[in-house]
Structure 1
């Protein structure tokens, strides 16, 4: 039997489409490294949001966080879907991924200045990431005739939008904010336009795994906040009991969020209804899941500051930074994984009802604890309601 060359010794391969039905299609070590580098950007965005909320600048903080997180999420999303369809793991592919990682780290370095209104560094990192994707799409267009129309549309659309992102840096005030929204719509429209010619062969199970891994990354921000609560308890003797209790509630909260997201196979909808609308709505809708999960960590940091008496906000104002993103997370998981018309009515109804109750928990004396209890109760409901009725996927 002839020995097959290892991927490292093959320096170049034609960039052919991967088989959509390929068995055992899992995340590669390079994809995991890519995710690891994006942890830095997510952490910087969550930390900047926490500082803005703690200083009472909620509207500015949330707006800046949403803008910064779009750059992080969109760069990650485009890499992941492209890799699902065309990953060759040869030397040029790895080097292009290295450039994208450099762009992601540049975005992380520019988060603080972006919250102060200076987006130059973030745009530099973002454009670097996106132009690296152009080289990948041009390789795909050259090697894969069937996907050439879509690949060329991707490349052309990305280049045009990046030029506009750079031009936006000189657009001030309200006009700049409007331009940002217009360019976000343009970015979202490029895949819709490109895939309408001939869809790329992304792998449903692989995409679901990639999204699950990024969900774990953003949930990690919440775990970090729970850890900070315990650390603060060791240096704030007068608040030790309250902070340890808060840490326990935060741990229950993040575990419940993890359970609810992964309770249903993420690829199920992509396999059952593999239309462009299904894949786009599922892929784009995860922005709210990812951003909400990362924001929960920032909210818990605010709750820690409130319990230690270092925050000049009221109880409700210090609770909302946690309860609002938890509610958004629950509603987003409900829409993308469960569905309002789910055959199991207790589960279909339980998610939106719990989201409303979590928001109402903001007005209770112990909002984080109540929110944690409500999400844990929803976990119990899903386990009991689906017992014996779930078929393996």
Structure 2
């Protein structure tokens, strides 16, 4: 870290006075997530929980199209705002008063977005959701503008490009609210493409100084939080079902299968460090963008377990295969995506194919029906056992 940057990041016990926001070094030692970042994640998980709850409700009622489209859009807003804050903080976190206050504004936007998610599902009313999203994004614009004062040359152009690009897209989202509700679903994909394009355009000449180890830790921590929310949602669903129906015999297989899936999801994600793979924007962007599927599928597993519990006690108005699919489809997607983004970089030989095969096997468990969730959990556990066995053989060899 430069002397100027070191001065801006004084001792942990010092008061966060107003400091000059300068880029942090990629080679900074002992870079870890801050308590503010962890608090930010915990507040964002409220929106994740709302999205999962609405997904479970829509799936349980058999409204597949509403469930999938509503969830994809709601989770994109959550994920994209979280991701942009995370990468910005990795490069420019100065932890002073303005930075903390601006982060609080972003958290406020996340809570507004969470409050608007039910309306997005039920009435296709995007007003509150877009308002919360725009609040989060405009707060980040002020951060990028502030960062531009600590940069020069191409780096300053990069920071200003971020600010201008994000602001322009937010104008577009506000305009979307003025369109007829029947047109909005057709326009939303263009807004998503515009959002995804901003980082690539802004960093086409110079890269922001994100920290590989810090970024990989932040993504890992958010994965843990999402998996925790999944376990929590499933636990509440089981408890409620037991209290109301006392259908313990039918619920135990779902609970066991769900627990095995969540444990497997944790195991495979953290099986090997990934930060050494994140050496350039090309690698990091693909990895970071791909986490939309990892985070989204992890949260969807929890929603699916809620649906499976509701089916077990006769509340869900769908077939046994459909109820099982709400768990097995996101679980298979999670396994496949973690393999594509993580595992394939550290596995060789037969171990390379454990997760792809496991993903297909979990998906095949859908056809089993009522026992499919338990079968999927056993498949995931078996995949871990096989992976550990193959790894031990490599070590011995």
Q: What TM-score does the superposition give when structure 2 sets the normalisation length?
A: 0.93
| 2:35 is aligned with 1:35 | no
Partner of 1:361: 365
| 2:316 is aligned with 1:311 | yes
1:1-393 pair list within 5 angstroms: 9-115=15-121, 116-146=123-153, 147-173=155-181, 175-232=183-240, 234-236=242-244, 238-270=246-278, 274-339=279-344, 343-365=347-369, 366-387=371-392, 389=394
Q: Distance in 1 between matches of 2:328 and 2:102?
A: 40
CA drift of 1:30 comes to 0.5
Q: What TM-score does the superposition give when structure 1 sets the normalisation length?
A: 0.94
Q: Distance in 1 between matches of 2:377 and 2:164?
A: 47
For these two proteins, the number of residue pairs brought into alignment is: 383
Alpha carbons of structure 1 residues 377 and 268: separation in structure 2 relative to 1, 3 Å: farther
C-alpha offsets along residues 130-183 of structure 1, whole Å, 9 cap, x if unaligned? 111111101110112252011000001001100001001122355322221011
Whether the 8 Å contact between 1:7 and 1:90 is mirrored in structure 2 is no
C-alpha offsets along residues 340-375 of structure 1, whole Å, 9 cap, x if unaligned? x86523222121111111111011141000100111
- SS of the residue 1:143 aligns to: coil
Whether the 8 Å contact between 1:346 and 1:381 is mirrored in structure 2 is no
Q: Distance in 1 between matches of 2:342 and 2:328?
A: 21
- Which segments of structure 1 move beyond 6 Å, counting only runs of 4 or more? none
Q: Where in structure 2 are there 5+ consecutive unaligned residues?
A: 1-9
Q: Distance in 2 between matches of 1:351 and 1:319?
A: 20
Alpha carbons of structure 1 residues 35 and 238: separation in structure 2 relative to 1, 3 Å: closer
- SS of the residue 1:27 aligns to: coil
Q: Distance in 1 between matches of 2:111 and 2:103?
A: 12
- SS of the residue 1:107 aligns to: helix
RMSD between aligned alpha carbons? 1.6
C-alpha offsets along residues 60-103 of structure 1, whole Å, 9 cap, x if unaligned? 11100000000100010000000000000000100110100000
Q: Where in structure 1 are there 5+ consecutive unaligned residues?
A: none
